[in-house]
Structures are given as C-alpha cells and as structure tokens.
C-alpha cells in the first residue's frame, strides 16, 4: 500500500493511517482482501507455532519416559548382580562349612577352584539387556566384574 508506519504505532493508529490513505478510498475491496490475507497468514503461523510446541512437548515427554525406562533397567541389572553376589556369598559360606567338616589334603586349591568357578558363573550370569541403550551399562558392569581380562 506504500504507507509509512511509525515504529511504535498501535492498532488504532494503523487503522486511522489505512483509512486515510488514497488506496483505501479508491479500492476498499483490495484493502479488505489484503487485511484478510494478513490475518489468515497470522492465524496459520499461530497454528504452526502451536503444533511445533505440542511436538516439542511430546518429544520431551518421550525422552523423559525413555530416561526413566533406562533407569529402571539399570536398577534391574543392579538387583540381579546383587542377587548373584548373595548367591556367591552363600555358596562360599557353605563351602567353608563343608571344608571344616571334612578334612581335605589341599584346602587352598579347592577354595581357589571354587573361587574360579564362582567368578565364571558370575560372569556368565550377568543379564544381557534387551534395549540398545542398556548395552553400554551392560558392558561397563561386565568390565567392572572382570577387570583387565577384556581387551578392546
């Protein structure tokens, strides 16, 4: 329309500026169509902004849910490791009780063999995660259980 709009113009000022213009007086229908187009564009931008906002919220919620699921999976792995450690402690205690009851010629070698067996069982019974995000935790716990034996 070729109008000069002041920097801090309000809606009332804009309306007065448009109504006093030659274009408005000569072609009212053109100005109305122009205003309708501007309002439609603004409405579409607002709707697009709302859709993007909803999508971001949805992605954030999914991310938080995945994080909680990973934490739960990690706790399950820790619980399984704790249960295995408890089984190992019980087996060691039972072995100590049976070795005191029966005299063995080489008690040290039997305990070494049992500890080796327990370590092997402990390594083999670490639960393998199903989700790909849990693999790093799995390998980290595996490296902690047998340090120095895994070569990358």
Domain assignment present for 39: yes
Domain assignment present for 24: yes
Region at 106 (left for phi over 0; alpha for psi -120 to 50; beta for the rest): beta
Domain assignment present for 141: no
Q: CB-hemisphere CA count at 13 Å for 142?
A: 18
Angle at 109 between CA 107 and CA 112, to 5 degrees: 110
3-class DSSP state of 64: helix
Domain assignment present for 29: yes
Number of domains in the chain: 1
Domain assignment present for 80: yes
Write out pLDDT tens, residues 50-66: 999 999 999 999 999 99
Domain assignment present for 25: yes
In the prediction, which pLDDT does 80 show?
A: 92
Domain assignment present for 127: no
Point out the residues of the chain with pLDDT beneath 50.
Answer: 104-105, 152
Domain assignment present for 144: no
In the prediction, which pLDDT does 108 show?
A: 61
Report the mean per-residue pLDDT for the chain. 79
Domain of 95 in residue numbering reads as 11-101
In the prediction, which pLDDT does 10 show?
A: 78
């Amino acid at each position: 329309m070729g109008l000069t709009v002041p920097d801090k113009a309000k809606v009332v000022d804009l309306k007065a500026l448009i109504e006093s213009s030659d274009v408005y007086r000569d072609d009212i229908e053109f100005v109305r169509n122009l205003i309708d187009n501007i309002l439609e564009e603004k409405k579409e931008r607002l709707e697009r902004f709302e859709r993007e906002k909803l999508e971001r919220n949805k992605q954030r919620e999914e991310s938080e849910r995945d994080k909680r699921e990973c934490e739960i999976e990690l706790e399950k792995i820790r619980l399984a490791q704790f249960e295995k450690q408890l089984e190992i402690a019980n087996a060691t205690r039972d072995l100590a009780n049976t070795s005191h009851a029966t005299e063995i010629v080489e008690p040290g070698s039997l305990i070494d063999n049992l500890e080796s067996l327990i370590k092997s069982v402990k390594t083999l019974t670490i639960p393998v995660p199903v989700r790909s995000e849990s693999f790093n935790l799995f390998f980290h716990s595996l490296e902690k259980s047998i340090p120095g034996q895994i070569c990358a």
